[in-house]
A = this chain, B = another copy of it.
């Protein structure tokens, strides 16, 4: 005897979530079944809402409910510094450190030949356009300290070399081979403050 179809379908969908195996998906599915109707219905409507309301900022690519995100449209930010990140999620993490008041640029990935992700798949061209157009003093790479992160930094640094902006990356206080998203905030803050100058004229 199997689960009724719709329960099985819910379990299948939940087990596609990262870190959720078959057993966990069953536990979550049965929790949802036994919870008040309101829970499943508000989860359903929030999921739909997210797909209709959340867009990518026209300037930096960050998640926003408007055309331009809260950071890009703020008058209080230092518009001469751009922090380059892999994913919108990294913006929220760096913002939580409260030590950077510049702008962001989201690449939506890093160069990773093994996963079939090349430089053309990334949001690089609009970054160059921003640097051409605006007067940018510093580009800070806040990418994961992995071979793929390094490759991406090297690749984009070369493209940025003709422009006057200083190019920096986070200090390797980060444990090499890990993922930036799971670093502890102290280590992340240190590596942010001690970011390295890739052009070698001192931070």
- Partner-B contacts on A (CB < 8 A): 1, 3-7, 9-10, 13-14, 16-20, 24, 26-28, 30-34, 37, 39-51, 53-54, 63-65, 70-71, 87-89, 91-92, 95
Inter-chain contact A19/B10, CB cutoff 8 Å: no
CB neighbours (8 Å) of A71 from chain B are 1
Complex Cα–Cα for A43 and B24 (A) = 16
Inter-chain contact B16/A54, CB cutoff 8 Å: no
A9 CB, nearest partner CB in chain B, Å: 5
Q: Given A44-B47, A47-B41, do A28 and B17 touch, yes or no (CB 8 Å)?
A: yes
Q: Given A17-B28, A28-B18, A31-B17, do A51 and B47 touch, yes or no (CB 8 Å)?
A: no
Q: Given A3-B92, A92-B3, do A41 and B31 touch, yes or no (CB 8 Å)?
A: no
CB neighbours (8 Å) of A91 from chain B are 1
Inter-chain contact A33/B54, CB cutoff 8 Å: yes
A72 CB, nearest partner CB in chain B, Å: 11
Inter-chain contact A46/B10, CB cutoff 8 Å: yes
